[in-house]
Structure 1
């Protein structure tokens, strides 16, 4: 019974010690700015990636619009002005 109690106490003390060491290490890393610098760098890369995706998506949208306009021209339809859409069809489907 005493051995079990000592084992549990030792385990608790060891867990507390490891937690304290980890906390101190994290506190030092944040204090040095290492973790913050890493987080800022990761966010900067994320923002660069987001901009590239947005640029690519805009390019795809413009190319698709050009293709649709050219296809409509080939079948004799007039392409609507940008941003107005297909409101007021004057032909039957």
Structure 2
């Protein structure tokens, strides 16, 4: 599911996800990667390695990185929760 910048802004607003950077105290965030010309944002992925003595595998967690434009601090938002909220808005939930 693609997430537009408008949907992402609405999600953050609904969750009260505004605030100062914990490192430099500014409030100037952007989504990385930058939205394309069609206004769509693609989620990045972080690889989490899961290993045991018997099996070694990889698990992927889809996230949207949000970057402080002053100091570069990166916060991550799991796209499952964004997509769940978007589905609830569509379903009237």
The TM-score with structure 2 as length reference comes to 0.21
The TM-score with structure 1 as length reference comes to 0.21
Rg bigger for which structure? 1
Could you say which structure has the higher strand fraction?
2
Could you say which structure has the higher helix fraction?
1
